[in-house]
Amino acid sequence: MSNSSELPAFSHSELHWHSINWELMYQRVRGLQVRIAKATLKSDWRQVKQLQRMLTHSFAAKVIAIRRVTENRGKSTPGVDGAIWNTPASKWNAISKLSRKGYKPKPLKRVYIPKANGKRRPLGIPTMTDRAMQALYLLALEPVAESQADRNSYGFRPNRSCADAIEQCFVNLSRKSSAQWVLEGDIKGCFDHISHEWLITHIPMDKVILRKWLKAGFMESGKFNPTDAGTPQGGIISPVLANLALDGLEAVLEAHFGKKNTKASYKTKVNYVRYADDFIITGISKELLEREVLPLVRAFMAGRGLQLSKEKTLITRIDEGFDFLGQNLRKYNGKMIIKPSNKNVKVFLRNIRDYLNSHKTVPAKAVIAKLNPMIRGWCNYHRWVCASETFKYVDYRIWKMLWQWCRRIHQNRHKRWVKEKYFKTVGERNWVFSAPKPNREDGYYRLLNAARVKIDKHVKIRALANCYLPDDEQYFERLKMQRLKKSLAGSMKLWKIVERQDFKCSICRQQFNSQDEWDIHHIIRRVDGGSDISSNLTMLHINCHRQLHNMTDGSPSTPIMFI
């Protein structure tokens, strides 16, 4: 595989973003990532360094990095230079900017976002060029991070989620013989205080580039501020750097208390689960966690420039329960039950109330368009635990807020008139908040009912599975398929379409994830007589859909092969 010399291989007529063969690009990058992961497992760091250099200099990796930063949520948020790449031409021209030689990152743009406790979290927004460079080097660093990661670390890792971490907590705490005490760890300003020298010494990547990112500084109120510690929240590569800094604590605990399912571990019952910078450690007694586990954790964190928060680091008995990742874990008469935490429910309902209070005169259909994604996202997060009663309570509270919202608009109308205008009967459901669809008889937009979201059992990922190793490839394909099936469970038509495609995009041939954004494309356009039957539909990634329309240029005569 050659490096930037691949660029002239495209003829003049093909020098266009939408002419890129994405399937080939992903194949080339994937091949190098597999080799990096294998070399990491052998601790062949010289080979890792050579392969990382090949990857970061390759044309394929550069275009994938650009595609990632121009399709994520922050694609329209500029850095200090005000530049965004929102056209195919700007994306293509960006390829030549991703060069190590002469690269100098610009300062981050500092912004603040509100936290649940009322405080504000600082975010550093890099420029598009710096984001793309971070995405490029992340392609080379992530296989190393995955091959070295703690078994029970679940945050900011491919194919892992909060639901996996919660399920592992259930495994560690649900049995009668399980540990009864839990250490809830909270790292004080994790992203802001990680030691730069530790990162530069221990992170297996280009040290020159890493030092430039860490020392780039940030702009706030027109003033430049240097950075002496921490990795900026907002950078694409920052979560992986933080994971690498925190990885190793599980091995330290196992060295002192024994590996899981050994005689030593049965005596202490010390188990560890981490999601990003939040973690819990179980133990057989409060004294064990206070006198033996806590000093080990503090010493480990101190070596990386970090310290635990005295106020938020707690030791709790499982019968009293504790909150972790928005869930409440507690044993009731010896039975482990996990529910959405009261704090999380209150924050969710407050967000809905704030929206309704600030949008007192918008049409009902706009309210439904805003609230449905909020309700769906919150319910999908909690659908893997005992949330049925909470969902019913949330429905009641939302109905009450909507009734107040309607009454406030129509203060001079009778309650029956308000009810008939906004609340309909759908099957056996009464009081369904609805809004008429324009130009359609008996057509209505409906507010999503949380209680109708199906509670399901989450299948936890295998702890040692590595998505960059060929031995685990089939396992991850099955896992993605199962999770995609659950996310599409409400639509058999969509399931039929994606199953026909072998769960892969018809253009780039990459397997769909349940988190992917996708479009439905008509193979024969409706204006040319095509119908909405499933055989005439195909599921595509949003960028691939755009690319397809650019290739066909609106012409029905252009042949496109769907595999």
The C-alpha atoms of residue 422 and residue 15 are separated, in whole angstroms, by 54
Q: What backbone phi and psi angles, to 5 degrees, belong to 232?
A: -70, 130
Token duo for residue 463:
């702890």
The C-alpha atoms of residue 60 and residue 56 are separated, in whole angstroms, by 9
The C-alpha atoms of residue 289 and residue 268 are separated, in whole angstroms, by 10
Longest dimension (CA), the chain: 78
The C-alpha atoms of residue 108 and residue 79 are separated, in whole angstroms, by 7
Query: Other CB atoms closer than 10 Å to residue 333's CB: what's the count?
Result: 6
Give the type of residue at 464: L
What per-residue confidence (pLDDT) applies to 3? 46
The C-alpha atoms of residue 508 and residue 563 are separated, in whole angstroms, by 11
What per-residue confidence (pLDDT) applies to 308? 93
What per-residue confidence (pLDDT) applies to 221? 85
Please count the helices (runs of H) and the strands (runs of E) in the chain.
Answer: 21, 16
What per-residue confidence (pLDDT) applies to 117? 66
Token duo for residue 282:
């179980």
Handedness of CA 348, 354, 356, 359 (dihedral sign): negative
The C-alpha atoms of residue 288 and residue 302 are separated, in whole angstroms, by 20
3-state secondary structure of 476: helix
Closest CA to 64 of 21, 15, 14: 21
Domain ranges of the chain: 19-151+195-232, 342-452, 470-553
**Cβ(184)–Cβ(314) below 8 Å:** yes
The C-alpha atoms of residue 171 and residue 310 are separated, in whole angstroms, by 28
CA angle 406/412/417 to nearest 5° reads 60
Run of H or E residues at 445: strand 444-446
What per-residue confidence (pLDDT) applies to 492? 64
Predicted confidence pLDDT, tens digits, the chain (563 residues): 444 444 444 433 335 788 888 889 999 999 999 999 999 999 999 999 999 999 999 999 999 999 999 988 888 889 999 999 988 889 999 999 999 999 999 999 988 887 766 678 888 899 999 999 999 999 999 999 999 999 999 999 999 999 999 999 999 999 999 999 999 998 988 888 999 999 999 999 999 999 999 999 999 888 998 988 888 777 899 999 999 999 999 999 999 998 876 766 778 999 999 999 999 999 999 999 999 999 999 999 999 999 998 888 999 999 999 999 999 999 999 999 999 999 999 999 999 999 999 999 999 999 999 999 999 999 999 999 999 999 999 999 999 999 999 999 999 999 999 999 999 988 888 899 999 887 655 578 999 999 999 898 898 999 999 999 999 988 988 888 788 777 766 566 676 777 777 778 877 877 776 566 667 777 777 656 666 677 777 888 777 777 776 665 544 333 333 43
DSSP state letters, 530-542: --SSGGGEEEEEH
What per-residue confidence (pLDDT) applies to 554? 43
The C-alpha atoms of residue 25 and residue 61 are separated, in whole angstroms, by 7
Run of H or E residues at 390: helix 388-409
3-state secondary structure of 70: coil
DSSP state letters, 112-175: EEE-TTS-EEEEEE--HHHHHHHHHHHHHHHHHHHHH--TTB-TT-TT--HHHHHHHHHHHHSS
Handedness of CA 146, 152, 157, 163 (dihedral sign): positive
